[in-house]
Structure 1
Amino acid sequence: MPTSLDAERCYRAVASRDARFDGWFFTAVRTTGIYCRPSCPARTPAAANVSFFGTAAGAQAAGFRACRRCRPDAVPGSPEWDVRADVVARAMRLIADSEVERAGVPGLAARLGYSERQVHRLLVGELGVGPLAVARAQRAQTARVLIETTDLPMADVAFAAGFASVRQFNDTVREVFACTPSELRRRRSGGETGAPGWLTLRLAARAPFDAAEVLLFLGLHAVPGLEEWDGTTFSRVLDLPGGPGVVRLSPAPDGGAAVTARLLLTDLRDLRAAVPRCRRLLDLDADPAAVDDVLGADPALAPLVAAAPGRRVPASPDAPETAVRAVLGQQVSVAGARTLTARVVTLAGTPLAEPVGTLTHAFPRPEALAAADLSTVGLTGARSRTLTGLAAALAEGRVALDPGCDRDAAVRDLLALPGIGPWTAALVAMRGLGDPDVWLPGDLALRRSLAGLGSSDADAARRWRPWRSYAVLHLWALAAPHLFTRHPAPAPADRSAS
């Protein structure tokens, strides 16, 4: 068992079937050879018969198979990897983004700036398994989802899940789920498999979770050509390794803490990259209980937290996109930012082979934006130079904004670029890199809300750690209620909602 897990605390969570711990750890029962999520409805095993693992990969490597009743591989991801900034957390974020499938362990180590041996040693020391085992567990999870929710041929499932061969796929499914892929498909519940060409997945979150609020926030910032909002479903183009893909996100039909994702991919192998990007976009791996416990204990924020429990921080599938949109949104309204961004997308974005509804382009890659003539976009000369300089820095690797980057280093590198100040760099850290503890210095909407609460920037910077990003969303909701489901009253837009 990893040393970071407290066996007594874990067992208490299992005995009470506490769903808040789903994804934080997994319970392996030695008498049955099965591992479960903490909230599994099966009879609670005796404490002497269980072991605890921080990852499904660790339980699988120890010889346990996934419980068919609680489906432990279908839980939200551990919020620990988003909160932490150390090498292990950075590695886990990159593995989730399919870096091992794209570049192998050597590529993963290179992105982290460590040797392969060091990366392996660090992961084994904390998780009990190395990066290959973690990636294998995630491939198995992807395979199960595709087997149970699509009618794809098994060879296509193996290909999409990232397996090198059908034989490897068959062996892994049998080992992890104790049945063949065909048997797993026969046991599925028979739900919707989606329109031809589209993959339909259920993306789980921890309760409480208001999917409609998160999707509304994203929808009201939708950029024409790149994103679309119909009042219920938020759609957008994803820039994926195998080519542009489209995702449609809507609240789960059963009203549970989940989102239904419908994906149209150029290359099925991109599913492994698309799912974590959608999860980041919606902040699905957050731990709302931990956030609300801290923020709700503050008298100033308590009423806001009580009115909107589990509020998430809507983000972006790619931090470089966030950085560009943050520069375009400086000192302009939400509508103005959408207009400028749409022009940039049309100018330098990757066009879809065929439009999907009103969606026509993926967001421009840095190298394309660096080479683009921005004179027709409508930017000031200074803003145009900032945008070109940012794109060049991203394309040349002088600024790294990938899921496994060092967040502090990324902020420092952004601040070193002309035209990028503390507010812009902080917004990129919060909504691009998923840092849960970011304050936006000088934000106009925050100042307005803080004044109404009798507080100040300096107070907030001290009082609401380590969840200041979530405090920002509560204060934005107070200042701009039209952007949030629970507050329908209109309010003027400003740069703080970019």
Structure 2
Amino acid sequence: MTTDAAPHQPVAQTVYRPAHPVDLMRTVGMLVRGPNDPTMLVDGGRLWLAFRTGSGIATLCLRQDSQGIHAAAWGPGADEAIDRMPQVCGADDDLTGFDVSAHAGLAAIARRFPGIRLPRTDLVFEALACAILEQKVTGLQAFGAWRYLVTNFGERTPGPTPRPMFAAPAAESWRRIPSWQWHRAGVEPPQSRTIVRAASRAPSIVRALHAASDGDDRDQVLTSQPGIGQWTSAETRLRALGDPDAVALGDAHLPHEIGFALTGSRTDDAGMLELLSPWAGHRQRVIRLVYAAGIRESRRGPRLAPEDHRRR
């Protein structure tokens, strides 16, 4: 519903009443990229999202209570943001065929967290660029690079946000980032080159990804691009398309954590895929349940110390 907006008043607002349980924080909150993500923040029970739509940038604020999920939006893309809000909250997520009753541990977790859904943003290039930045570095490094690049090359979004927020750059803007700015952000040349190459093909990548019929086809679209492997593909599929079967292969910790959660012992990628095979088509849902339950194997040995390449 669109309203006449005074300063700081939303351009559009509505209340979404899902037909199934939705845990807003565990559903949409998984999209946040570190504690200082310029595109998203959690504040006082509200989720704020800044993103780009076909009509322009928008800020979307979500709040959940017993009446449903209250959504307000600001900016030229406000109406489109409101239209897309239900799918961001998991409205398109189909749990048909997902059954963990044969695994007592997973069944117990599913009963504890019935409202976990998979969000779909449709922000394909944003998700892809962020996943490329996260390749082979620590989360601290990736989140810092994301924050620097989005803040400096994205667009400030409107609305009474608790702190300044920015929509991620459009694909063409990623292409124009100078080499010294990538260096200042702490991004290595292989990652910056991969983003720039993908940005030059962004419209065709997005079209092909939306036309793909299943996860294998989506993987083919993404991994056919130089510098993009299965890990990056899975992360993009999950965040942009809410893909319920996306599994990030090549992750340093995921197979150990899934193995530990399901069997009590760590495993590798092949072992993880075997363990997840009973839930083919819904393997990401199992991963989300494990994360929600906080099941983690104790870290062995020292953590990886980030290396600062900007002094080179």
Query: TM tier, shorter chain?
Result: 0.7 to 0.9
Question: Does residue 1:285 correspond to 2:92, yes or no?
Answer: yes
Letter in 1 for 2:86: R
Cα distance in 2 between the residues matched to 1:285 and 1:226: 22
Question: Does residue 1:383 correspond to 2:191, yes or no?
Answer: yes
Conservation of the 8 A alpha-carbon contact between 2:63 and 2:69: yes
In the other structure, the counterpart of 1:424 is 232
Cα distance in 1 between the residues matched to 2:20 and 2:13: 21
Q: Which of residues 242, 246, 250 is equivalent to 2:63? A: 250
Conservation of the 8 A alpha-carbon contact between 2:277 and 2:283: no
1:438 is paired with a residue whose SS is: coil
Letter in 1 for 2:211: C
Q: Which of residues 249, 255, 269 is equivalent to 1:447? A: 255
Cα distance in 2 between the residues matched to 1:493 and 1:203: 42
Conservation of the 8 A alpha-carbon contact between 2:31 and 2:239: no
In the other structure, the counterpart of 1:233 is 46
Question: Does residue 1:336 correspond to 2:141, yes or no?
Answer: yes
Deviation by residue 1:4-26 (Cα, 9 ceiling, x = unmatched): xxxxxxxxxxxxxxxxxxxxxxx
Moved more, 343-352 or 404-413: 404-413
In the other structure, the counterpart of 1:203 is 16
Deviation by residue 1:374-399 (Cα, 9 ceiling, x = unmatched): 2322111212212212222215x2x2
1:246 is paired with a residue whose SS is: strand
Cα distance in 2 between the residues matched to 1:493 and 1:380: 17
Conservation of the 8 A alpha-carbon contact between 1:322 and 1:431: yes
Question: Does residue 1:264 correspond to 2:67, yes or no?
Answer: no
Aligned positions of 1:127-166 closer than 5 A: 146=1, 152=4
CA positional deviation for 1:338: 2.1
CA positional deviation for 1:322: 0.7
2:50 is paired with a residue whose SS is: strand
Shift in alpha-carbon separation, 1:335–1:240, aligned structure 2, 3 A: same
1:462 is paired with a residue whose SS is: helix
Cα distance in 2 between the residues matched to 1:226 and 1:298: 37
Q: Which of residues 158, 164, 172 is equivalent to 1:359? A: 164
Question: Identical aligned pairs, as a percentage?
Answer: 21
Conservation of the 8 A alpha-carbon contact between 1:401 and 1:410: no
Conservation of the 8 A alpha-carbon contact between 1:246 and 1:265: yes
Greater share of residues in helix: 1
TM-score with structure 1 setting the length:
0.51
Structure of higher CA gyration radius? 1
Shift in alpha-carbon separation, 1:402–1:283, aligned structure 2, 3 A: farther
Aligned positions of 1:296-445 closer than 5 A: 296-299=101-104, 301-352=106-157, 356-373=161-178, 374-395=182-203, 397=204, 399-400=205-206, 404-406=210-212, 408-445=216-253
2:52 is paired with a residue whose SS is: strand
In the other structure, the counterpart of 1:171 is none
CA positional deviation for 1:432: 1.3
In the other structure, the counterpart of 1:275 is 82
CA positional deviation for 1:493: 11
Conservation of the 8 A alpha-carbon contact between 1:414 and 1:425: yes
CA positional deviation for 1:321: 0.8
Letter in 1 for 2:112: A
Consecutive unaligned residues in structure 1, runs of 5 or more: 1-145, 157-194, 482-491
Consecutive unaligned residues in structure 2, runs of 5 or more: 297-302, 306-312
CA positional deviation for 1:479: 5.2
In the other structure, the counterpart of 1:119 is none
Aligned positions of 1:106-121 closer than 5 A: none
Moved more, 404-413 or 427-436: 404-413
Cα distance in 1 between the residues matched to 2:242 and 2:28: 17
Letter in 1 for 2:48: S
Shift in alpha-carbon separation, 1:447–1:276, aligned structure 2, 3 A: farther
